[in-house]
Amino acid sequence: MAGVEYVVHTAARAHIMKDPLFDPLTEFRKVNTAGTLTLARQAAEAGVRRFVFISSIGVNGNQSIKPFNEQDTPAPHDLYAISKFEAEQGLWGIQQDTGMEVVVIRPPLVYGPNAPGNFGALMRVVQRGWPLPLGAVHNQRSLVALDNLVDFVITCLDHPAAANQIFLVSDGEDLSTTELLRRVAHALGRPARLIPVPVSLLAAGAALLGRRDMAQRLCGSLQVDISKTQTLLGWNPPISVDEGLRRTALGFLHETTL
């Protein structure tokens, strides 16, 4: 990193729904905490001016009663989020010791071409035309398109007011799961086959199948407040949700035809 002015750290152990390891927290910490802090120390020693860390909204929690903000008491809800929060804490210590500027960004679900995890699975299901019992979900969830996240990272590289701050970021428009699926279907040019099953029945069925976590992700709310991002940095998402979904769909359709 000699001669490097900025470091953006995005690498992490993630999207592991059924972890085969006996002690998965240790593995998450090895990569997401210790790996991050080793890199940050090396960056500081090399004279890097600013270290931008992509953390996770999971540090705030997995369900919001009101939109999360940067002042909320952290409540990491899974092993991944715990390892990210511990990395954040270590970064602030390195910042104090070395003077290297740190910026922490906590995005919600990131979507874009070749999106992994749950979003990629939803794209495949909608593309195949399978009916989904998600036509009556009235939650609210924040998302962030990959292009919006990249634009925000670029803003954080050298904006003077970004130094030593935590930021939440999103597309600026929150959607219910039902509305998201409708818009995904429109972007893919497919019909949205959504059955209006009451959320209470969905939750009961998920509990019987041992999939409470999946029901929470599909039916619970998770909103973020980006007012600090907008006022302190003057940043607004450059593309809309619909444009982000259009670009995601184009990438998905291209990948499936290869």
C-alpha–C-alpha distance, residues 129 and 145, integer Å: 24
Give mean pLDDT in consecutive 10-residue pieces for the chain, a chain of 258 residues. Answer: 96 76 86 98 98 98 95 94 98 98 97 86 91 95 98 98 98 97 96 94 86 84 97 98 96 78
6 is catalytic: no
- Cβ neighbours of residue 111 under 8 Å, at least 6 residues apart? 119, 143, 144, 145, 146, 244, 245, 248
Tokens standing for residue 9:
């750290």
Angle value at C-alpha 24, between 20 and 203, nearest 5 degrees:
75
pLDDT given at position 223: 98
pLDDT given at position 84: 98
Helices 212-219 and 199-208, interaxial angle, to 10°?
160
pLDDT given at position 137: 95
pLDDT given at position 203: 87
The catalytic position among 51, 53, 80, 85 is: 80
Give the residue carrying structure tokens 């428009």: 173
Note whether 119 and 181 are within 8 A (CB).
no
